[in-house]
Amino acid sequence: MTRQDTAFVYGHLDVQLLKKEDGWNTEPFVLDFERRKALWRRGALVMMKRPVLGLASAIESISANQEKCAVNIKFCFEGMEESGSQGLEPLLRERQASFFSDVDFVCISDNYWLSTTKPCLTYGLRGLCYFCIEIECASKDLHSGLFGGSVHEAMTDLIYIMGQLVEPNGKILIPHIYKDVEPLGDTEEQFYEKIDFDTEDFRTAIDHPKLTKADKTQVLMSRWRYPSLSLHGIEGAFSGPGGKTVIPGKVVGKFSIRIVPNQTPQCVEKYVLDYLNELWKARNSPNKFKAYLLDSGKSWRTNPEHPNYVAAARATKYVYNVEPDLTREGGSIPITLTFEEVTGKNVLLLPMGASDDGAHSQNEKIDVRNYIEGTKLLAAYLYEISKVTQAELEEAESTK
């Protein structure tokens, strides 16, 4: 009896919190089938519900045709990914020797095409370091008419420091932050030039006036292979409509850095905190100051020439009649690295959705075409990995 390969598929079913006043135009539990072209609903199919349902539909269709699935399938579907997957990693490591011992291939579909028309396979993700800056000037909020001009205001200090983190063109001002970034390879720019990506479509899709970089290669490298710093918010500051003349007694500024291969959260934390402490010392403010790393996750990158990716490329060509682009992604999927560690196998990111699906945003959707063709893709992928020989797997594992 010949050995049958085993594929492990991960998916999550939850979504981020939503307030209807944020601009959502459909009911969260009602599927809106608009003009038979797209399915609209909060979290219904965007993110990972669509590949979970797609996998179930693929297996159902195989069974309905009275055929045996070409590979064994194991899966993990969770409902707390948007809450940090609390408890999942310890469970996975606890079951590492038993549940994952016979896994040959790992597939996750928690990402998107680079465009709206061409499929891709994703082999890299940036990591994340999330920081907080706390500044306190008083034990309570103050009236600006009574105290303005006579106190060192916490908000003024915070705005000064947050304004020293990144330039308008995206360059991070923190010393040494680029020190550990992987050097650009001799032929690497040629790789980016082959990718189907239109910078003008990318810009106009979000109604942005001007990108920080001029050409396609530089835009893609800024998104994928270089770190970026983003300011996210200020806790404790007045943010409601209208005017309010309050001086916040305490404010907390929040920002993050997307980190890339060769950068570690530990080194980035040191660079950032050293710089923030230097800025604070130079500020010479009497207020209370504290900066710290709130959360972090490593970057991830795998070998896109692994048989897992080669099989997925064949499946994509079969379904969409086009060779997929090989891409990296600017976001983070921390569980990807965990699955790589507990299985010891190559992890494939196989997206089903287009770049304009609007994950976590108002009016999430999935195009009917992508839902149908994506289901076919998952079925074709299961078939293609069944053709990978044990010798090919062993050779790939020995050279990774």
Is 340 catalytic? The answer is no
Is 384 catalytic? The answer is no
Query: Which of 21, 27, 60, 81 is labelled catalytic?
Result: 81
Query: Length of the chain, please?
Result: 400
Active site residues: 14, 81
